[in-house]
Each structure stands twice: as structure tokens, then as C-alpha cells.
């Protein structure tokens, strides 16, 4: 710690940090633009200036940039000296000379850091009366809107995009006062993390295109703390709502899960909740196959009839439904009739659950991933399967360079200096993957191998570290690699093993667990990351019970054991082959489907019930790290929809043995019941405060900022009276501006705002230390803590991969845009998703006379499917990859042998777009 004096007052601050961070950390205001807590300092904007004095006798002082000046013990500073203030006013006045002053039509208005800093720095009257520069804007694709004239050239965008996120297609162009931040030519930004520009840009240059088209100001948004449902990472988000529509999703800072950033699937993928395919009303299938709408009351009656006392009831749950809903279903149908509804990843997921709960190695938090000094990725294209983790891994490779900088006395936050020192130096990051990945640019080594060979590498390295028997039949190169890597592992301090379910191959996960155990025996600081495909895969995996497979459900149905099958938030076509769904539907007299979107499974149902989405309901999800996190509704008027668990609670009314369920009216009661029954889930109650939190003080946490406007006017077309504030009995949050918005536990904060700080930059007011945990600790609670010794798990080395004698071995390939079911329905995501794609090696493409975008027919035992071709020169011989989750490819399975035929007729995607002349967004 260091003692510094600011305007004559003494403060204790962190040694080695910079003055700007220290000042903000003390809760004082100092304006800034180019500094960003995650990006560090470069000193370009000059806005954070203050006065530093040599000693007590120095009354002149000199202007220094807070962000570029290291805190030293005894330093004397002034924020409020008139010279410092005048300098800051000069800076903002200069920055604004070319600004178009178009705040009224700017999507950033009201949450604009530039607006805030303009006021804070004391610039009001415009004295520059010359001409302004104007720029031509670019079309950056369906997700991000570009308005260059608002630019103040803080360089944050390119520093974020290139240096932090590894994007290459956004650059600073031109020079002097003609600098321009954009692409070389119009086109969709390529980075999967481009959406963060919306929050990184302190003005309105980069804004959320969907928000621009359907605009509401921040102060008119109703928000709630939420969790991203688009993958297993569980990033914390803030959805914003008005008029019942989701308007946008912003990052919600969580020090240990997502920090300052989201991926684009998370940011733009929530749009499905506004989709035309949302189920708004219950429906009963009639004899003609059409659905007749039912009122909620009628629907409940039907449901209770179908689930009546003597009905033989089975249920299929869902890894994308909340823990509460899954638990309620399981309770309703009974443990032995409950199937969690996992898909083709099931074996790998089960292996992950074992590794998590019994592997004895702790999962990494976000800061731990970023701090790793050696990363081994076992079979995951992590950018596609758990994107936010990939962004963190990009930071980890900087550690060696940071160390070099530290040796020269340069602090980590001196961003440009560190990068100049580090140049291309990278900490080791080794990938064993089954196709080219987006991390290849930072990987020190990438091996592309068939999944079984990936597993063999893992076991081989584990064996090398444990000095055990090696793996037979490795190639000479593989052996050398293993030997070299083993010695690097020994030299590392904070190794990290990354693996997961994406290959759909359990042996890969077994190998990762064995490897992690071997590494952890060498280094206590070893961490693991296992990806899982869905937002609650781990939560469902943690529910104890007998847990039937889908095959068991089909068998039971065909044996006549099922009268009514309740399918909770699950499109069965994504979980099992079509033929099985048909057989199941034929064998079960009554199928009840509860879902938020209309899916193909609904067609097989006798009763369809509309389920509230993550923006409309409250619930608990457990992320891949094992952290239980709560999401809250942001929309108050959910119409006929109910949360899944509420429907299921009502279904239990007629069932004699489970009448207890009926009494679980509120979420807190459900949580109690879960905890009572399943001690391993006891922690979920503490994931967020209960609904009675703040009851004593009488004010819940506010979902609306103080300036929320138009409470009466908003509904003036319906009623002239101000509608009564809806009451949320299940949450400690109010649908109102009345309530606490500041002194709150982080799990309950719906937005960040502080006087003078209307943008997301106000976050530092809520952090215990800049860039660190929020005051009052991080939200959520970890349910899994490693116990016992690192355990190597199932140690069965698979045979080396042999390319099939005829045909190709299918490997599963995830895509950030398109593989996930719900986000694929968001318009922005749809626009950037590829069609049904088959990935071929360059040799195979040549042999089949196929080029990228050509058509190919893929023939399996079940039938055939037409795909577009992508060529990946790194694909292992004998394999072809298929994109998981694409509607046309749901019947494909990793590990199957398939044959291929050129399909001459298929139009290239580019031609389809050109001939339609239609683009989803302009």
C-alpha cells in the first residue's frame, strides 16, 4: 500500500497501480476516455489529467496523466486545482470540435460516457467555429451500427478489437485529425466478440443495430439481473425491456465469470424472445392436427386431466430449462420416470460431470483462466462452444510478455509499453483439436487429430507426467511433442487444462481428466475448464436420481408404460434421431410439451403450454464451472405464459402422492424443497437473496432507473390511469423505479448508474477495487468444490484412429452462430449463421472436385442430406466435420461413417443471397 495526498487529504491506495485507477477506486471523479480497466492505459485522450507536485514546496506542480502515472508512496496530487480543471476542460473542448452534437438521434444518448465526461469536465459553450470533419459510415453487418462522425479518437475500439479480442478486420486508418476507425471496406465484422464495441466505445460510434432499429433510451429501459442462456459459461447479463419487448442485452459485470465482456451470441442471441415463433397461448391438438387455443384455466384443467392420479406419467427434462423446472418435473413424474433429455453429447457430458465432481481439480474462474501460464486444450474449439472462455484464453497467452515487461519495471497496465516489449512472445497454449480453430493465431502449437487420437495424446501426456506406462503407437512427432510438453508442464506455475463435450466423445473427457489429475499432482494451482453445451447442463447433471436415457423412454413407451409424457423445454428432434421421435409419438397416447418457442416437437403434442422465457421468469442455472446463478424476469406482463415449474406444480394437483408440490407457490419454496431433498444443491438458496430480502426496509430492488419516464403515457392507448405497479412476489425486485438501486448485493443489481455517471462506466462505483470483485462479493455460488486427491478417472486409452476404408468418419463441429438452439432464432444471429455445412479436408475436396460453397450430399445409414462445403486444410485425414445443431443436420452423429457425393445442383449460398436480393438487416 502507498499513502498519497490528493488535494491535501491523505489516502491509502494500492502500490503499483496507476493514479487514475487509484482515484476512481477512492470513489473520486476523474474523467477519462482511452483508459479501460480491462485494456489498460495508453495516454492518448489526455482527459485524466491532474496536477502532481514534486514536494511540499512545489506550488506550481505539473500536469500528468492519471492513467500513465504510477502510484508511489508519498506522492502529492491535486484533482481540483484550477489548472488541472482548466486542462481537462481544454481537452474535452478539443475532442468536441468535430463532434456532430447529434445526441437527440444517437443510440448512446443518456448512457453516453462522452456526454458524462463533457459535463464533468466543464465544457458547455462551443467556442470552435470552424468547419467540422465529416466521415462516411460503413455497413459493419447485421449486428453493429457505425456512425464515425461521433468518434473522439480514443482508440479504445481498435485496442479492444485487435489487441484484446484478436480481431484483424477493424483498424485505425488515416492520421492526424482524419483518423478513421473501421474496416478496409464495408462488411460484417468478423470477430465473435465485436459486440463488446458497443460498450467499449465511449460514444455512439459503435451501437447495437437491433437497438438502433427498435430504440429506447437507457433510462426508459426496465432491466433485471440475468444469466445468458446461450451456452454453459453462464455470463451475467442485463436484458433491457420496454413495451414488453426485449430491446438489448448488456454485459453485467461478474469478476469471476465474464468480467466486462460477452460474446456476440450472448449479446445478440436473446432476440429469440421477441420472435414470431414464441408460444403465447396454450393449445390443444385437434383431430385435424390443428391446435385450438386454450385459456390458461382450460389449459390447466387439460393438464391436470392428462396428469391425473392414475395416469402413467413420464417426463423429459431439459438442460436449457431451469433447475426449478427440471426438479419439479422430476418430482411430478417420479425419479424413475424422469429423463434429463440430454442429446448426443450425453456420454461426454456424463464424463464431464464425473470429472467435475470427482476429478479433484478445481474449475477455473475467469481471472484464473487469464492468469494461466500454460494452457492445454483437449478437443475443444472453445471459441465456438464456450466463446467467453476463448476471449479469456487470448489474455492468458500474454503472461510471458507481461513477465518480461515486469522484469523491466513496466507495470501490466502500461498497455502499449507491455505490447512493445512482448512483441510476439506468448505463453504456451497447445491445442489438440479436430479442425482448425479461431485460437490458432495465439496457439503456440495446434495439432489436428481425430477425437480418439486427441484422447490418446491426453493419456500419453498424463502418463509422461506420472512416469507411468506410455501410450503405444504414437507417431514420432506425437512422442516428441508429448516429451516437450511434459517438460513445459513441469516448468509452469499455473497450468490450465481445457476440455469438454464438443467432440461428443467421452474418451476425450476421460483423457482430459487423467491429464488434469497428473498435472495437478505437480502443481496445486492447476485448474480445469470443461465446456458443456447448454446453460443448465451441469445443473441438470447435478440432480441426483436414476435418470433415464431417451432410449429408455422410447422403450417404456413402446412397452405401453407411458400414458402421458411431459416434455419440458426440449425439442426432441435435437436430442434423438427423427425416427425415434416418430416411434415415441406413436407409442405415447398423450404428449404435453412445455416450451417457449414453437418447435417440431410441438406437432407431436396433444397439449402445448407456453413457457415464460428467461426474460419473463425467475430461476436458477448452474454453469460449467458449477456456479449456481439466478436470473430474474425483466418483463412484467407475461400474458398467458407461466414459468415451467409453475405449470408443472399445477399439473401435480390431481396426483395424490405429490399434492405437496401444489403448495410450492413461490420460487423460494421450491428452492427450499430442492435443498431439502438434494443436499448437494443446498447452495442454490444462497445463489441470490430470497424474495423477502429488503422486506424489512420496505423497498425492493428497483428494475427501473429513477428517470424512467412515461409510466402513464406508455399505456395511454389502453387506459388513462397509471397502471398499478405489477407485484413480483417471487423476487426481491420491483417493477418500478421505486426501490434501492445502489446499495445492493450484486445478484440484485439491475443496472449501474451513479450521479454523473450514466453510462456503464459507472461500474467502478460498484467495484470493491477497480477491475476486481463487486462490493459485497460476486453473485452466485459454487456448488462443486474439489475434494480429495486429483483422481485420474477412467483410464482407458482408445485405439489409434484409422480412417475408414471407405467413407469418412464424422466429427462434430460447433459454431458460435447457429449451433445453439434458441439464439439461432434471434434475427441478428440468424443473419450471421452459416447454412448446413460440411467441413472437408483440402485433399478430400480436391479428390471430390469440390470447392468452398459447393454442394455435397452426405449419405448415412438413415438417409441423406445436402450440405454446403467448407474446406479446412487442417482436417485430419479420413474425417469430415458437420455443424452441430443445424436444423438440417440433426440426425448426424459424431463417429458415424458416411459417404459423400458431389451435388451439382445446390446453389452456393452467396448466389442464393444475391438472387434473393434480400438481407436480413441493412
Partner 1 sequence: MTDLDVIPTLSPEEIAEIEHEVALIPRRDSAAIDALMIVQRHRGWVSDSSLKAIAALLEMSPEELDGIATFYNLIYRQPVGEQVILFCDSVSCWLRNGDGVKEKLSELLGIDYGQTTADGRYTLIPVPCLGACDRAPVMMVGDDLHTHLDDCDLASLLTCEANHD
Partner 2 sequence: MTDRPLTQNLRPDGSPVWLADYEANGGYQGLRRVLTDSTPEACQQVVKDARLRGRGGAGFPTGMKWSFVPMGEKAGLGPKYLIANADEMEPGTFKDRIILEQDPHQLIEGMILAAYAIQADVAYIFLRGEYTVAAQRVAAAIKECYVAGYLGQDIRGSGYSLELHLHRSAGRYICGEETALINALEGKRANPRPKPPFPQVSGLWGRPTIVNNVETLCNITHILTRGADWYQSLGLGADSGTKLFGASGNVKTPGVWELPMGTPIREILENHAGGMHDGYQLRGFLPGGGSTDFLTPDHLDLAMDYDVIGKAGSRMGTGTMIVLDDRHCPIGMVRNLARFFAHESCGFCTPCRDGIPWIVQLLDRFEQGLATEEDLALLEEKARFIGGIGNTHCALAPGAMEPVLSALKYFREDFEQHISGRGCRYQSLGRGH
Which residue ranges make up the site for ligand FES (CB under 6 A)? 20, 32-35, 43-48, 65-67
In the complex with partner 2, the residue whose CB is nearer, 129 or 719, is 129
Q: Which of 483, 479, 481, 487 is nearest to 522 (CA)?
A: 487
In the bound state with partner 1, the residue whose beta carbon lies nearer, of 424 and 915, is 424
We find the least distance from the C-beta atom of residue 18 to ligand FES, in angstroms, to be 9
**Nearest-5° angle of CA 42, CA 44, CA 50?**
90
Q: Which residues of 57-71 are buried (b: 16+ CB within 10 A; e: fewer)?
A: eeeebeebbbbbbbb
For residue 576, the partner it binds in partner 2, ligand FES, partner 1, none, with Cβ less than 5 to 8 A by kind, is: none
CB 503 within 8 A of CB 811: yes
Element (H, E) at 741: none
- In terms of C-beta density within 10 A (0-12 exposed, 13-18 middle, 19 or more buried), how is residue 755 classed? exposed
Give the one entry of ligand FES, partner 1, partner 2, none that residue 185 binds, where binding means its C-beta sits below a cut-off of 5 to 8 angstroms depending on kind.
partner 1
> C-alpha cell of 475?
507417431
What are the DSSP calls for 36-101, one per residue?
A: BTTTBB---S-TTEEEEESSTT--S-EEEEGGGSB--TT-EEESS-HHHHHHHHHHHHHHGGG---
Cα(467)–Cα(220) distance, rounded to whole angstroms? 63
Distance, CA of 454 to CA of 479 (rounded, Å):
13
Question: Which residue has cell 438452439?
Answer: 821
Q: For partner 2, which is the closer residue by CB, 181 or 757?
A: 181
Does 28 contact partner 2 by CB under 8 A? no
Q: In 10 A of CB 904, how many CB atoms?
A: 8
Residue of 129, 287, 407, 423 interacting with partner 1 (CB under 8 A) = 423
Q: How far apart are CA 539 and CA 623, in angstroms?
A: 7
By the rule CB under 8 A, 175 interacts with partner 2: yes
What is the spatial distance between Cα 347 and Cα 794, in angstroms, rounded to a whole number?
A: 13
- Residue 405 or 486: the one with the smaller Cβ distance to partner 2 is 405
Residue 140, SS3 per DSSP: coil
Choice from 17, 18, 44, 207 touching partner 2 (CB under 8 A): 44
Residue identified by cell 440475468 is 226
Exactly one of 117, 356, 417, 572 binds partner 2 (CB under 8 A); that residue is: 417
Q: Which of 4, 45, 642, 829 binds partner 2 (CB under 8 A)?
A: 45
What residues from 15 to 34 belong to the interface with partner 1 (CB under 8 A)?
none
Residue for cell digits 414470431?
A: 276
Give the one entry of ligand FES, partner 1, partner 2, none that residue 35 binds, where binding means its C-beta sits below a cut-off of 5 to 8 angstroms depending on kind. ligand FES
Check residue 711 and report its DSSP letter. T
Out of 57, 59, 125, 185, name the contact with partner 1 by CB under 8 A. 185
Q: Which is nearer to partner 1, 179 or 699 (CB)?
A: 179
CB of 840 to partner 1, least distance (A): 13
Please choose which of ligand FES, partner 1, partner 2, none residue 416 contacts, taking the beta carbon within 5 to 8 angstroms, the exact cut-off set by kind.
Answer: partner 2
Tell me how far, at minimum, the Cβ of 223 lies from ligand FES, in Å: 28
Helix H segments across 238-295?
264-268
Three-state SS for 233? coil
Sign of CA dihedral 82, 85, 90, 93: negative
Q: Is 849 in the site for partner 1 (CB under 8 A)?
A: no
32 binds, among partner 1, ligand FES, partner 2, none (CB under 5 to 8 A by kind): ligand FES
- Applying the rule CB under 8 A, the residues between 284 and 323 that interact with partner 2 are none
List the one residue from 119, 171, 653, 794 that touches partner 1 (CB under 8 A).
Answer: 171
Beta bridge pairs of residue 869: 838
Pairing of strands 9-13, 2-6: antiparallel
Judged by CB under 8 A, the chain residues 138 through 167 that form the site for partner 1 are 162
C-alpha closest to that of 632 among 682, 700, 575: 700
Cβ contacts of residue 409 below 8 Å, gap of 6+?
none
Cell 455445412 belongs to 837
CA distance 666 to 729: 7
Q: What is the DSSP letter of 160?
A: I
Binding marks (x or -) toward partner 2, 75..114, rule CB under 8 A?
Answer: ------------x--xx--xx-xx----------------
Q: Give the single-character DSSP code of 723.
A: P
Interface map 179-198 toward partner 2 (x if CB under 8 A) = x-------------------
Least distance between partner 2 and beta carbon 32 (Å): 12
The listed partner (partner 2, ligand FES, partner 1, none) that binds 48, CB under 5 to 8 Å by sort, is: ligand FES
- Which of these segments, 177-185, 292-300, 349-357, 527-535, binds partner 1 (CB under 8 A)? 177-185
**Binding status of residue 410 toward partner 2 by CB under 8 A:** yes
153's contact among partner 2, partner 1, ligand FES, none, with CB below 5 to 8 A by partner kind, is: partner 2
Given ligand FES, partner 1, partner 2, none, residue 420, with its beta carbon under 5 to 8 Å by kind, binds partner 2
**DSSP SS3 for 229:** coil
Q: Per rule CB under 8 A, is residue 127 in the interface with partner 2? A: yes
For partner 2, the closer of residues 65 and 364 by Cβ is 65
SS3 call for 170: coil
Where does residue 43 fall: left (phi above 0), alpha (psi -120 to 50 degrees), or beta otherwise? left
Among 871, 883, 894, 898, binds partner 1 (CB under 8 A): 871
CB of 644 to partner 1, least distance (A): 45
| Least distance to partner 2, CB of residue 133, Å | 9
Q: Which of 28, 421, 585, 699 binds partner 2 (CB under 8 A)?
A: 421
Per CB under 8 A, 170 contacts partner 2: no
Q: Is 863 in the site for partner 1 (CB under 8 A)?
A: no
Longest dimension (CA), the chain: 94
Residue 300 contact among ligand FES, partner 2, partner 1, none, beta carbon within 5 to 8 Å by kind: none
Query: SS3 of 277, please?
Result: coil
Binding site for partner 2 (CB under 8 A): 42-47, 49, 62-64, 68, 87, 90-91, 94-95, 97-98, 127-128, 130, 152-153, 155, 172, 174-179, 404-405, 408-410, 414, 416-417, 420-423, 425
Amino acid at each position: 500500500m502507498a499513502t498519497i495526498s490528493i488535494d491535501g487529504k491523505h489516502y491509502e491506495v494500492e502500490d503499483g497501480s496507476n493514479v487514475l485507477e487509484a482515484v476512481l477506486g477512492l470513489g473520486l471523479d476523474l474523467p477519462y476516455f482511452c483508459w479501460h480497466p480491462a485494456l489498460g492505459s495508453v495516454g492518448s485522450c489526455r482527459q485524466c489529467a491532474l496536477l502532481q507536485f514534486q514536494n511540499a514546496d512545489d506550488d506550481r506542480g505539473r500536469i500528468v496523466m492519471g492513467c500513465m502515472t504510477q502510484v508511489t508512496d508519498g506522492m502529492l496530487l491535486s484533482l481540483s486545482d484550477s489548472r488541472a480543471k482548466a486542462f481537462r476542460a481544454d481537452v474535452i473542448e478539443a475532442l468536441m470540435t468535430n463532434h456532430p452534437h447529434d445526441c437527440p438521434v444517437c443510440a448512446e444518448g443518456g448512457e453516453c460516457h462522452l456526454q458524462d465526461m463533457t459535463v464533468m469536465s466543464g465544457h458547455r459553450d462551443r467556442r470552435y467555429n470552424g468547419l467540422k470533419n465529416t466521415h462516411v459510415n460503413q455497413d459493419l453487418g447485421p449486428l453493429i451500427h457505425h456512425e464515425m462522425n461521433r468518434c473522439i479518437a480514443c482508440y479504445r475500439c481498435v485496442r479492444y478489437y485487435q489487441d484484446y479480442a484478436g480481431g484483424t478486420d477493424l483498424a485505425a486508418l488515416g492520421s492526424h485529425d482524419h483518423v478513421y476507425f473501421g474496416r478496409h471496406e464495408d462488411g460484417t465484422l468478423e470477430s465473435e466478440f465485436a459486440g463488446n464495441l458497443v460498450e467499449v466505445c465511449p460514444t455512439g460510434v459503435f451501437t447495437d443495430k437491433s437497438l438502433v432499429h427498435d430504440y429506447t433510451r437507457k433510462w426508459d429501459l426496465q432491466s433485471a439481473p440475468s444469466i445468458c442462456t446461450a451456452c454453459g459459461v453462464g455470463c451475467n447479463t442485463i436484458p433491457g425491456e420496454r413495451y414488453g419487448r426485449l430491446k438489448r442485452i448488456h454485459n453485467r459485470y461478474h469478476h469471476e465469470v465474464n468480467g466486462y465482456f460477452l460474446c456476440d451470441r450472448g449479446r445478440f442471441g436473446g432476440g429469440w424472445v421477441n420472435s414470431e415463433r414464441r408460444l403465447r397461448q396454450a393449445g390443444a391438438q385437434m383431430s385435424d392436427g390443428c391446435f385450438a387455443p386454450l385459456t390458461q384455466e382450460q389449459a390447466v384443467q387439460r393438464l391436470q386431466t392428462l396428469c391425473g392420479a392414475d395416469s402413467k406419467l413420464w417426463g423429459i427434462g431439459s438442460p436449457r430449462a431451469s433447475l426449478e423446472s427440471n426438479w419439479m418435473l422430476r418430482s411430478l413424474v417420479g425419479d424413475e420416470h424422469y429423463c434429463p433429455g440430454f442429446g448426443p453429447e450425453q456420454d461426454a457430458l456424463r464424463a464431464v460431470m464425473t470429472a467435475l465432481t470427482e476429478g479433484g481439480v478445481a474449475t477455473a474462474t475467469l481471472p484464473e483462466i487469464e492468469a494461466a501460464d500454460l494452457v492445454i486444450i483437449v478437443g475443444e474449439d472453445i471459441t465456438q462452444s464456450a466463446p467467453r472462455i476463448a476471449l479469456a484464453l487470448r489474455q492468458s497467452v500474454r503472461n510471458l510478455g507481461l513477465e518480461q515487461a515486469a522484469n523491466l519495471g513496466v507495470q501490466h497496465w502500461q498497455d502499449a509499453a507491455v505490447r512493445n516489449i512482448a512483441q510476439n512472445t506468448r505463453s504456451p497454449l497447445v491445442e489438440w483439436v479436430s479442425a482448425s480453430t479461431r485460437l490458432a493465431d495465439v496457439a503456440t502449437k495446434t495439432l489436428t487429430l481425430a477425437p480418439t487420437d486427441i484422447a490418446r495424446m491426453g493419456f500419453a501426456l498424463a502418463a509422461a507426467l506420472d512416469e507411468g506406462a506410455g501410450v503405444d503407437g504414437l507417431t514420432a512427432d506425437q512422442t516428441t511433442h508429448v516429451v516437450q510438453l511434459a517438460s513445459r508442464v513441469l516448468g509452469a506455475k499455473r497450468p490450465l487444462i481445457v476440455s469438454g463435450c464438443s467432440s461428443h466423445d467421452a474418451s476425450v473427457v476421460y483423457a482430459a481428466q487423467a491429464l488434469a489429475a497428473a498435472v495437478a499432482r505437480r502443481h496445486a494451482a492447476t485448474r480445469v475448464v470443461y465446456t458443456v453445451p447448454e446453460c443448465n447442463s451441469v445443473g441438470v447433471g447435478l440432480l441426483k436420481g436414476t435418470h433415464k436415457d431417451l432410449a429408455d423412454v422410447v422403450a417404456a413407451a413402446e412397452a405401453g408404460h407411458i400414458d402421458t409424457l411431459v416434455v419440458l423445454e426440449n425439442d426432441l428432434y435435437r436430442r434423438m434421431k427423427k425416427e425415434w421421435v416418430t416411434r415415441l409419438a406413436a407409442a405415447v397416447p398423450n404428449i404435453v410439451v412445455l416450451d417457449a418457442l414453437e418447435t417440431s416437437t410441438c406437432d407431436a403434442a396433444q397439449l402445448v403450454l407456453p413457457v415464460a422465457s428467461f426474460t419473463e421468469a425467475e430461476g436458477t442455472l448452474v454453469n460449467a464451472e458449477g456456479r449456481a446463478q439466478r436470473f430474474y424476469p425483466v418483463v412484467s406482463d407475461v400474458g398467458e405464459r407461466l414459468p415451467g415449474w409453475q405449470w408443472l406444480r399445477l399439473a401435480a394437483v390431481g396426483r395424490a402422492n405429490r399434492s405437496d408440490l401444489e403448495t410450492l407457490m413461490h420460487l423460494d419454496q421450491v428452492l427450499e424443497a430442492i435443498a431439502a431433498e438434494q443436499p448437494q444443491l443446498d447452495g442454490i438458496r444462497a445463489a441470490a437473496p430470497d424474495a423477502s430480502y429488503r422486506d424489512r426496509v420496505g423497498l425492493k430492488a428497483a428494475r427501473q432507473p429513477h428517470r424512467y419516464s412515461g409510466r402513464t403515457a406508455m399505456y395511454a392507448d389502453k387506459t388513462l390511469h397509471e397502471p398499478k405497479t405489477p407485484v413480483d412476489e417471487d423476487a426481491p425486485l420491483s417493477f418500478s423505479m421505486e426501490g434501492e438501486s445502489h446499495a445492493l448485493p450484486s445478484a440484485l443489481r439491475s443496472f449501474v448508474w451513479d450521479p454523473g455517471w450514466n453510462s456503464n462506466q459507472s461500474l467502478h462505483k460498484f467495484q470493491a477495487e477497480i477491475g476486481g470483485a463487486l462490493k459485497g462479493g460476486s453473485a452466485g455460488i459454487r456448488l462443486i468444490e474439489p475434494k480429495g486427491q486429483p483422481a485420474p478417472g477412467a483410464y482407458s486409452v482408445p485405439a489409434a484412429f484409422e480412417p475408414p476404408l471407405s467413407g469418412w468418419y464424422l466429427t462434430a463441429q460447433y459454431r458460435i452462430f447457429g449451433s445453439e438452439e434458441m439464439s439461432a432464432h434471434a434475427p441478428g444471429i440468424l443473419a450471421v449463421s452459416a447454412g448446413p455445412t460440411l467441413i472437408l479436408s483440402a485433399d478430400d475436396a480436391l479428390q471430390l472436385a469440390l470447392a468452398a460453397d459447393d454442394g455435397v450430399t452426405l449419405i448415412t445409414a438413415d438417409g441423406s442430406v445436402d450440405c454446403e462445403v467448407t474446406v479446412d486444410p487442417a482436417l485430419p485425414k479420413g474425417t469430415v466435420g458437420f455443424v452441430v445443431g443445424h436444423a438440417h443436420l440433426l440426425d448426424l452423429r459424431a463417429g458415424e461413417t458416411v459417404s459423400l457425393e458431389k451435388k451439382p445442383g445446390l446453389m452456393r449460398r452467396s448466389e442464393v443471397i444475391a438472387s434473393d436480393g434480400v438481407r436480413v438487416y441493412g
